[in-house]
C-alpha cells in the first residue's frame, strides 16, 4: 500500500510540474564558487553520518529508529530517481541549452529528477517530521536540500524542474518512511543490526 502511495505521489508530482517545464526551466550562469561546489560532497557526508548514527543507536532509541527510517527514505528515493532518469533520459543544461530534449541520452544518465536533491531531502525529512514539535530548530535541516538545489543549478547539472522533482521525490520518500512503524530495512536485515553498537559495548 505504501509503495502504491509513492508511485501515485510521484506521478501526481510529474503531472503538476509538466505545464511549468517551459516556464521554469532557464539556463543558470555557471558558478564554481567553493560554497556551491561543495554540493557534490554533501549527500555522501550526510549518508555516512546517518548510517553511523543508525548503527550506533540501533532501533531501540527514538534517534536510532529515525535514522533507520532516514536510510529507508534514501534507498526509496534512489530507486525512484534511477527509474525516472532511465525512463526520461532528459538532457542536462551543461550538454544542451534546450530543456525540452527528452529521451535523448543513450550513454549518459538523464537529469530528471535530481538524485542529489532527492537523496538529501529524503535523508532529512524523517528527522524533521519526528522532532519538529519538540525541537522546531530541526527545520534548519531544510538548508541541506536547498543548498543542493541551488548548487546543482549553478553547476548546470540540472534544470529547475529537475531539482523541484527531486525535492518532491525525496519528500514523498521521507513521508512514507516516517509513517512506517518499523523501518523496512530492519525487517529484512539480521536482528543484530537493530541492537546498535551503543548497547553492545
Residue 42: inside a domain, yes or no? no
Read off the C-alpha cell for 126.
Answer: 524523517
Backbone φ and ψ for 187, nearest 5 degrees, come out as -70, -20
11 lies in a domain? no
Provide the residue range defining the domain that includes 109. 49-200
With a cut of 80, say whether residue 4 has pLDDT above it: no
| Residue that has been written with the C-alpha cell 525540452 in this structure | 100
Query: Quick one: pLDDT at residue 131?
Result: 95
Domain tally, the chain: 1
Q: Are 158 and 111 in contact (CB under 8 A)?
A: yes
pLDDT tens per residue, range 27-61: 888 877 777 777 788 888 999 999 888 888 878 88
Residues 130-162 have pLDDT tens digits of 999 999 999 999 999 999 999 999 988 899 999
* 110 assigned to some structural domain: yes
Confidence of residue 100 (pLDDT cuts 50, 70, 90): confident
Amino acid at each position: 500500500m505504501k509503495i502504491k502511495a509513492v508511485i501515485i505521489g510521484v506521478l501526481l508530482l510529474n503531472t503538476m510540474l509538466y505545464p511549468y517545464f517551459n516556464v521554469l526551466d532557464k539556463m543558470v550562469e555557471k558558478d564554481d564558487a567553493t560554497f556551491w561546489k561543495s554540493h557534490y560532497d554533501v549527500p555522501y557526508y550526510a549518508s555516512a553520518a546517518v548510517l553511523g548514527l543508525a548503527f550506533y543507536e540501533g532501533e531501540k532509541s527514538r534517534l536510532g529508529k529515525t535514522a533507520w527510517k532516514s536510510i529507508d527514505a534514501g534507498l526509496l528515493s534512489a530507486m525512484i530517481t534511477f527509474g525516472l532518469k532511465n525512463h526520461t533520459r532528459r538532457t542536462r543544461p551543461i550538454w544542451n541549452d534546450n530543456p525540452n530534449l527528452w529521451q535523448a541520452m543513450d550513454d549518459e544518465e538523464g537529469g530528471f529528477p535530481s538524485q542529489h536533491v532527492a537523496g538529501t531531502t529524503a535523508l532529512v525529512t524523517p528527522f524533521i517530521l519526528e522532532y519538529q514539535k519538540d525541537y522546531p530548530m530541526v527545520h534548519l535541516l531544510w538548508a541541506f536540500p536547498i543548498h543542493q538545489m541551488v548548487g546543482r543549478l549553478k553547476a548546470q547539472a540540472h534544470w529547475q524542474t529537475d531539482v523541484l522533482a527531486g525535492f518532491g521525490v525525496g519528500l514523498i520518500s521521507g513521508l512514507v518512511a516516517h509513517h512506517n512503524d518499523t523501518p523496512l530495512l530492519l525487517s529484512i536485515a539480521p536482528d543484530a543490526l537493530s541492537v546498535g553498537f551503543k548497547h553492545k559495548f
